[in-house]
Structure 1
Amino acid sequence: MEFDLSEYFRAAFDDKLLVKMPDREDDFLTSATRLLEKRREMTEVEQALNSQKEEFQMKTESLQQRRTELEHKEEKLKDSLFKFDKFLKENDSKRKRAMRKAAEERQLIVQKEREFLCLQTENAQLKCRKEALLHRQEKNRIYHLYLQRVLEKTEEFQEVQEMIDRFNTLMVTQDTLLKKEMENQEQIEKEKARLLHYQEETRSQILEHNNQLAELQGNLEKARAVVLQWESSWAQIQNTAAENTLRLGRIRMATLNLFQTITKQMRMKTDISVEDTEEQLEKIKICFVDLEAIYKDLKKADLTSQTPVIPTPN
């Protein structure tokens, strides 16, 4: 056979046997509507299976005829191989080509047999699927009966399709509300994240300000300690200055008293100011120098008068 039998059956299976998957808009159909759809699909599947069986029988007969022809050709080829053995030995290349062709034909036969087995397996699988669909149809029949009973008891709807449309509308509304809720939840999460980020930044700023405050308090304590130290030093300086001032006042008073006493005793006339302590000290110094000189002269004269006169021997 020159056509691909497996591709043919696969195309036929895709066109007639496969059950189409419902679109998203059919996801909301009730089991009763699906049951009616499955019944129609099962009828189409049965018709397709019958047609497929006929085609399969014809292809099987054609395959058997082809196999017989190939066997006949193989017999003829063997006869030709025996008759032209000497010629084939002389033309080894031609013999190899003929053998390769025969091998290819054998391989084709093996391949077709494998395809035949695959088709048998596929046929068995389709039968099993048919039984499963029939079982599913029988199982889903209760939903159709349930919808019929609901329709009989309600006055709002006149047909099952109206209930289905109402259900689909509610489902769409529910999906819309769920999407809106998810969007709101995402917005809430974003706001929570922003709040946490703001809180972290605020904590960081507070911590930074606390550190700065602690550092400034430390600097303030240091400054206070320095101020206290300088205040203590200033008080000490003031105390020392007061003592020095008092001592200086006493010295000046003592100097003035001593100067006045000396001038009074020595009857000296002077125009030195009462506030000019340095000049007063200078006069006192000169006076003490003079007194020291007088004391030395007096002491020397006293020593001279007390020394005995030793007569000089003749």
Structure 2
Amino acid sequence: MASPSPGITFSAAVRPATRMRTPAPPPVVEHVTEVEKKEGETFVTQRVSNRLSQMTQRPITHFATRHTLQSTLLLQKKKEMQSVQSQLEKKRLDFARRMEECREKQEELKAKQKQIRDRVTKFEKFLKENDAKRQRANAKAQAERKLREQKEQELYTLTQTLHTEQTKHNHTLHLIQKYQIYESYLQSVVDLLPPDYLDIPEPHINDILMRHKTLLETSQDLSKTVSDSTDEMERVQTILVELVKEKNDLILVYNSTLGTLQKRLDRLKQECAYLEQRLEERDNTGKERMRMLSETKLAINNIYDRVGLRPHQQTQHHHHDGVPPPQGTTHISPQQPQQELINVDNSAKALAERLHAIQDRVLDLQRKYIAQRAEQFLTQDRVEKAKRQAALAAESTSFKT
């Protein structure tokens, strides 16, 4: 076997173990920290407290010692490995034997479990049969108990019925004895009745009783009819009272609503009167404004004519185009509102042009007037200067003389 490469060593010796449950792990190869090689030192493959042993031998002795130590360690490891391998084989055989015993015990356990299940199945079947028998017996006993109770109830009912019938029989016998006198009396009455009293040739007591029964039923029917009529009348009277009350309440509500509506009507009339007054005032104001506007337009046209900017005919033409006629001849056609708006716009433009023309004319006249006044002032100044010069000349002449 080749020796291990430098820088790699086997782990520390494994302690022998006589009882191992698992196979020994393979030798672990660990990296060892590289140590700087110096002359006169030897690298040892065993670790002792993580220190490196230093040996001061010659190179030839160091190599021989190292080879011998590694061979010894290798043989020791092989021996330990063989021992561990033999122990492992023994453990494997022991484990296989134990596993076989476990399988046999498992088979026995399965067989016992099967037997137990079979017994449980049979016992459950037996229990089910017993439960079914017990349930049938209970049902039969309950049915017989119910039948006995029913028969006892029937016996009690029949006993009560018998007692009631006996009581009725005794009561009937008592009534027969009691009413025997009345029967005799009725028979005597029948014997004394006229032949055609009941429209029967030979009347009997039963006929009289039937007649009495009929009359009694008729009386009861009439009493019931009277009672029903009284109840119906009371019901109708109650409905009438409620209806009268409801209608009175409704009349009060309607009167209140009528009063509210009357107040609203009065308020609306006042508002309408106020609005009519405002409308009349607005119409009067509009008429006054239209009159003032017409007068203003006429004044503008007159001023425009007087300043001499156009002939009289042109003035009349613009008057018909831009200024509305007098109030008595004004007529606006409702079919041409757009044309009226256009005419009003044209009239406003014409008035604006005339005002601008009048303004320009007034400014021109002011300028002319100012120029004339300035010229008059200059002429007067020249005349005064000439007079002063003449006076000075006359004075100088008289002074010389």
TM-score (norm 1): 0.42
TM-score (norm 2): 0.34
Higher RCO structure, 1 or 2 (CA under 8 Å, sep 6+)? 1
